[in-house]
Amino acid sequence: MLEQITPLIITFDEAPNIARALARLTWARRIVVIDSGSTDGTLELLKQYPQVEVLHHAFENFAVQWNFGLDQITSKWVLSLDADYEISDALTEELTSLAPAEAIAGFAAPFIYRINGKPLRGSLYPRRTVLFRKDRARYKMDGHTQRLALNGEVRPLRGAIYHDDRKPLARWFASQQRYARDEAQHLLRNGSNNLSGLDRLRLIGWPAPILVFLYTLLFKGCLLDGWRGWFYALQRLLAETMLALEVNDHRLRADDPARAGLPTAAALSGRSRSKSSR
């Protein structure tokens, strides 16, 4: 089935990651990369791969970016990948042997989270539908990120994808600030009736950071992964804390007429942020 699949990757300043992602896609006849203005050497790296076709598109949001990429695909199937994803050998072998029925619209892969190349025992990273029929798919924004709307049945894959982001930590901080702002607006706009259990805890404004930190360390086993496990757990703690602060900040502003209507700190940061926050 590999000849029916076109990998699609979205990039912005992904020089620390992109070569590892492409090294796992040597089987692909064509790889479509949608770039939104990389200046860190990403484009130079992409030129080294003859099957890669780079298209430039100014960033609006993730859904727009992915949908623009889908419009460039001519094959029946799309393999949607972030630039910090690496396909395992087991997954490549599984893709080779797939023969899906017409009712099946996509396949969801499990993820193994890596810190600088070394896997964690567990993470909070969920399965994601990465392989799907192009003519049945469209992306929509959902909080800070995109969500795939797919018409048809989704089956699980056994082979894993490695997630291993090696961009600078400062880039992660900048991204999380924007994500927290967008996610807080999403939670407050939707209300608790339309949210998952975890998102309802987030909407309360304080339990999620503590619970996620302990869950990651103890139940996911990151406590046994040494400094790599602590690094990941602390990242999750900080991300949840930033979100909790945003939720509470919105509520405090609503209760304080003197502050009502003033932009949040994250919103001000979002207006002045450079492209490096993506």
Q: Does 244 share its domain with 219?
A: yes
Among the candidates 163, 197, 223, a domain finishes at 163
Residues 134 and 24 in one domain: yes
Structural domain including 134 reads 2-163
The residue out of 116, 148, 163 marking a domain boundary is: 163
CA–CA dist 182, 184 (Å, integer): 6
17 and 50: one domain? yes
Residue pLDDT, tens place only, 28-44: 999 999 999 999 999 99
H helix runs in 191-262, sequence order:
197-204, 207-214, 226-255
Least confident of 123-132, 174-183, 243-252, 265-274: 265-274
Compute the average pLDDT of residues 76-86: 98
What's the whole-number mean pLDDT along residues 206-233? Answer: 97
- Residue 182 and residue 109 share a domain: no
Examine the domain organization and report whether 110 and 144 are in the same domain: yes
- The contacts of residue 198 (CB under 8 Å, 6+ apart) are 208
pTM: 0.88
Asked which of 113, 131, 163 is the last residue of a domain, the reply is: 163
Query: What pLDDT is attached to residue 260?
Result: 55
Q: Provide the domain count of the chain.
A: 2
CATH code, 136: 3.90.550.10
What does the pLDDT read at residue 259? 54
Which residue has tokens 């790296």? 45
Quick one: 107 and 180 in the same domain?
A: no
Taking Cα atoms as reference points, which of 78, 77, 127 lies closest to residue 102? 77
The size of the chain, in residues, is 278
Same structural domain, 182 and 257: yes
Identify which of 231, 253, 235 has the alpha carbon closest to the alpha carbon of residue 243: 235
User: Which single residue is written with the structure tokens 């000849």?
Assistant: 3
Confidence class of residue 14 from pLDDT cuts 50, 70 and 90?
very high
One domain, residues 18 and 122: yes
- Both 151 and 24 in one domain: the answer is yes
**Nearest in space to 56 (alpha carbons), one of 71, 34, 40:** 34
In angstroms, the CA 210 to CA 161 distance is 28
Q: Are residues 26 and 90 part of one domain?
A: yes
